Amino acid sequence: MAVPKRKKSKSKSRKRRTHYNQTPPTLVHCSQCDEMKLPHHVCPNCGTYRGRQVIDVTEA
Amino acid sequence: MRHRKAGVKLNRTASHRKAMFRNMITSLFEHERIVTTQTKAKALRPLADKMITLAKRGDLHSRRQALAIITKKSITHKLFTDIKDRYINVSGGYTTLAKLGPRRGDGAPLAVISLIDLKEKAKKKKKTRKKAAAAPPTASKKEAAKAEEAPETKEDVSEPKVSEES
């Protein structure tokens, strides 16, 4: 069976991993309170979604 | 092959899944809104619609069919007396979903599923009609953006995405 002859150096591994990027989450402004929130999600700040009060945020 | 096998398995055995949905549907009609994972919430919708359809039929047979699913007799009674009357003029789509984002702990995407509030739905209908009327002149988007105030333009950005999803 074919096997690697040499251990991959730290440099090689690290160079390969330079393309491992994290993408920032897409965020939109809440139409009610203008906070940043996930699109298509209830706003965690004011608890509204599409003009409707969905969750009670006063408890926090 | 999975062809034409509708529904989700949710990594459960058939009996586990059935029991879970029975409990969920009972809770939904008891509390009118429940928080669960998005997948479970979506899978619950057709069952909820079927229960309300049974309630609207309202005869003894359908009541027994509902009792075979709903685990509490009192909740079946509530469904056949109180909840049914709200949806006399609606045919289907009795629930609404709102996404809450990832759960702390395991990161599972959560959602609220609730029985629709018809008053709010009527309000929204007017709103969407207005929006539909305003939408066509999108070619002159820049002009519209200029005419409207700054927060209005922000709404323009977020709102169309929301409507796509529903």
Under a CB-based contact definition with an 8 Å cutoff, are residues B49 and B93 in contact? Answer: yes
Assess B152–A contact: CB distance below 8 Å, yes or no: no
pLDDT tens for each residue of B95-124: 999 999 999 999 999 999 999 987 766 766
Q: Region of B10 please: left (phi>0), alpha (psi -120 to 50) or beta.
A: left
pLDDT tens for each residue of A11-56: 999 999 999 999 999 999 999 899 999 999 999 999 999 888 888 8
Assess if residue A14 is contained within a domain.
Answer: no
Predicted ipTM?
Answer: 0.77
Tell me which residue range forms the domain holding A49.
28-60
pLDDT tens for each residue of B149-161: 444 444 444 444 4
Reported pTM? 0.72
Mean local confidence (pLDDT), B61-89: 94
Mean local confidence (pLDDT), B38-62: 95
Chain B hits for A49, CB-CB cut-off 8 Å, are: 98-99
Chain A hits for B113, CB-CB cut-off 8 Å, are: none
Strands (E), B13-162: 33-37, 95-102, 109-115
CA A1 to the chain's CA centroid: 42
Burial class (CB in 10 A: 0-12, 13-18, 19+), B16: exposed
Assess if residue A60 is contained within a domain.
Answer: yes
Assess if residue A55 is contained within a domain.
Answer: yes
DSSP annotation of B139? T
Assess if residue A50 is contained within a domain.
Answer: yes
The count of structural domains within chain A is 1
Assess if residue A17 is contained within a domain.
Answer: no
Burial class (CB in 10 A: 0-12, 13-18, 19+), A44: middle
Burial A19-33 (b: 16+ CB within 10 A, else e): eeeeeeeeebbbbbe
In one-letter notation, the amino acid at residue A50 is: R
Assess if residue A48 is contained within a domain.
Answer: yes
Interfacial A residues in 14-43 facing B (CB < 8 Å): 28-31, 34, 38-42
Chain B hits for A42, CB-CB cut-off 8 Å, are: 98-101, 112
Assess B148–A contact: CB distance below 8 Å, yes or no: no
Q: Which residue in A28, A40, A51 is closest to B165 by CB distance?
A: A40
Distance from CA of A8 to the nearest CA of B (A): 34
Assess if residue A21 is contained within a domain.
Answer: no
Assess if residue A1 is contained within a domain.
Answer: no
